[in-house]
Structure 1
Amino acid sequence: MWKPQSLTHTLNPFIYAGQFMTSFKSVPLLFTCLLLLVFGCSSEDAQPAPSPSPEASEPETSVSENSDPRATGRSQEREEIKEPPALTTPSPEPIPVPAEDLAEGWIRLFDGGSFFGWKPENDANWAIEDGAITVSEGEQGLLRTTSEFSDYVLRLEFKADKSTNSGIFLRTSATPTDPTKDCYEFNIAPTDNPFPTGSLVGRTKIENAPTSGEWQTAEITVQGNQIRGIVDGNLVLEYTDESPIGRGYIGLQLNSGQVAFRNILLRPLSLDSIFNGTDLTGWVEYPEMESMFSVTAAGELNVVNGRGQLETEGHYADFVLQLECISYAEALNSGIFLRCIPGDVMMGYESQIQNGMKDGNPLEPADCGTGGIFRRQDARRIVALDNEWFHKTIVMSGN
């Protein structure tokens, strides 16, 4: 298990609310950030957060340990924020995640049509063909996720020529040099390789390695110091690391030969709930604001009545947050603020909740769009609908 980064400022996330009714449920959190649920922010009246510096993602303003942040009288005026840069990465038609997988927290790491969320660390012919990531030649190295993960289940399909040597890298550095120290390499290799498919390179070799040459399914669980691998429904790997790596990227490797990957999904593990489904224990209310937060008989966190916010008592750094949300009005504006100064009004990184779109085009969010970071980066596509429950996952990793 990795420890959150040390904090030089007090940081919060929070839930923010607006003019209509919004409900949240199933709000688990992995590791640490102050969370703020907010309601009523718009492009006209929102207080934009300052742009992050290239070297740090923490706000410049700090709070004294002995001060009451709600009594500091901070000005609500912020310097004008420039329009967020346009995303050039295409947003293909989304591939639905099955409802039962959504309920368990699964997210799609590869959208089937772009490299959004991935970064190559080598000069190779990485490409997308028929909904699969392919590579066959070039410099040895990784195509890796842009976010780091700690505990999770990774599920994907791979197809490798019988002579191919590739791998799935877990908790890896961007450019690993030693699979016994700075990553776990779940190998994809022929049976005559010292570490055939399903082995962990430099750590443990499996017997009766599966071979195919056709599409195969791998499901790998990484939790604490345990790694468990299943290939085509068969348990092939159980490994315990006495000095585990805390967290890292997920990487797809080109070593030699042709390989393809598709249907790459991840389910975060080791999450703790920050909402008990009964009352607002663990949350800070702001009765002077218009919003009214309550917990329904169904165990949902409900907000009505106007602009306001609800703030977690806990403080967090890097984390994964998963929740379900429904907005009971067309183009309702709400959001979740992250890494915030305690008690400050709607300040921080806002993960927008707003399903409006221009001229009915899901590629043109009307106001940043659900999943976008308000005043920083618009969503690539509106995929949620008002008056229907939708699932949201937020990963905070470094900057």
Structure 2
Amino acid sequence: MNRREAGLILLGAMSAQAAPGGFKKLFNGKDLTGWTLVKGHGVGYVVEKGVLVCPENGGGNLFTEKEYSDFVLQLEWRLWDGGNNGVGIRAPLEGDAAYVGMEIQILDDESEKYKKGAGLKPTQYTGSVYDVFPAKRGSVLRDGVWNKYQIEAKGRRVKVTLNGNVVSDVNLDDAKDEAVLKKHPGLARKSGHIGFLGHGTRVEFRNIRIKEL
């Protein structure tokens, strides 16, 4: 192999990780390169036909090996009745990412499963900064239809756009309740891993890419 051929191979590999607008792919569609499974359940996460899958008999926390501070994260996800997952941001590898980091909720919140008893709290709906800031409702596409997520974390601001609708746009400093701050030390973190937080229901992900700010 000459230098030109080697250079073309390297350029092709770099292009495979590139995406328009300064974004870089976090998931190559083939395997879990660049990711690490923490506290996995069952089979953990698998790749099926270019899609990252949290199966019913799997789950746990699947984190990027790299840490990120300020970024725009784009991805697509879909779920079925009762589906439950989340996007961890600025999270450490150890501990419950929803508290020691932050979790942007992904939930089939219109499912009858979640209407039993007292039902969901406002901070449990899709797009919420879980257990801290509620999201606007009504943008989730159900029953295996792909949803488009954009999560922007810049300094103390976190903005979540779901299917073109801004469902959360918050200043983390607006969380002033001492009990909430004690329960969620992750609100103070400036950087950490990005991850998927599976709960034993099938949720699929694709087109996962990031732009660091």
Cα deviation for residue 93 of structure 1 reads 11
Partner of 1:117: 34
Partner of 1:274: none
Cα deviation for residue 175 of structure 1 reads 3.1
Partner of 2:104: 186
Partner of 1:50: none
Match for residue 74 of structure 2 among 136, 152, 155: 155
- Pick closer, same or farther for the CA change 1:95–1:228 going to 2, 3 Å: same
State the Cα deviation string for residues 36-93 of structure 1 (Å, max 9, x = none): xxxxxxxxxxxxxxxxxxxxxxxxxxxxxxxxxxxxxxxxxxxxxxxxxxxxxxxx99
Question: In structure 1, the residue corresponding to 2:56 is in which secondary structure?
Answer: coil
Cα deviation for residue 207 of structure 1 reads 3.0
- Counterparts of residues 1-399 of structure 1 (less than 5 Å): 95=16, 97-98=18-19, 101=20, 104-121=21-38, 122-125=40-43, 126-138=45-57, 141-177=60-96, 179-180=98-99, 182-191=100-109, 192=114, 193-194=120-121, 195-213=124-142, 214-242=145-173, 244-269=188-213
Structure with bigger helix share is 2
TM-score (norm 1): 0.41
CA distance in 2, matches of 1:134, 1:202: 25
- Pick closer, same or farther for the CA change 1:97–1:137 going to 2, 3 Å: same
Partner of 2:10: none
- Pick closer, same or farther for the CA change 1:215–1:151 going to 2, 3 Å: same
Aligned residues with identical type, % of pairs: 24
Cα deviation for residue 133 of structure 1 reads 0.5
Bigger Rg, which one: 1
Q: Any stretches of 5+ residues in structure 2 without a counterpart? A: 1-12, 115-119, 174-186
Deviates more, 1:160-169 or 1:119-128: 119-128
- Pick closer, same or farther for the CA change 1:124–1:94 going to 2, 3 Å: farther
Amino acid of the residue matched to residue 64 of structure 2? Answer: T
- Pick closer, same or farther for the CA change 1:105–1:139 going to 2, 3 Å: same
State the Cα deviation string for residues 283-340 of structure 1 (Å, max 9, x = none): xxxxxxxxxxxxxxxxxxxxxxxxxxxxxxxxxxxxxxxxxxxxxxxxxxxxxxxxxx
- Pick closer, same or farther for the CA change 1:178–1:119 going to 2, 3 Å: closer
Question: In structure 2, the residue corresponding to 1:212 is in which secondary structure?
Answer: coil
Amino acid of the residue matched to residue 206 of structure 1? Answer: A
Cα deviation for residue 97 of structure 1 reads 4.0
RMSD after superposition: 2.3
Cα deviation for residue 257 of structure 1 reads 1.1
- Pick closer, same or farther for the CA change 1:151–1:96 going to 2, 3 Å: closer
Question: In structure 2, the residue corresponding to 1:119 is in which secondary structure?
Answer: strand
Cα deviation for residue 211 of structure 1 reads 2.2
- Pick closer, same or farther for the CA change 1:252–1:231 going to 2, 3 Å: same
CA distance in 1, matches of 2:192, 2:212: 13
Cα deviation for residue 96 of structure 1 reads 6.7
CA distance in 1, matches of 2:15, 2:30: 9
- Pick closer, same or farther for the CA change 1:162–1:222 going to 2, 3 Å: same
Cα deviation for residue 174 of structure 1 reads 1.1
- Say if 2:91 and 2:97, in contact at 8 Å, map to a contact too: no
Question: In structure 2, the residue corresponding to 1:179 is in which secondary structure?
Answer: helix
- Pick closer, same or farther for the CA change 1:260–1:201 going to 2, 3 Å: same
Q: Any stretches of 5+ residues in structure 1 without a counterpart? A: 1-91, 270-399
Question: In structure 1, the residue corresponding to 2:41 is in which secondary structure?
Answer: coil
Cα deviation for residue 114 of structure 1 reads 1.3
| Residues paired across the two proteins, number | 174
- Say if 1:141 and 1:175, in contact at 8 Å, map to a contact too: no
Which 4+ residue blocks in structure 1 deviate beyond 6 angstroms? none
- Say if 2:79 and 2:202, in contact at 8 Å, map to a contact too: yes
Amino acid of the residue matched to residue 155 of structure 1? Answer: Q
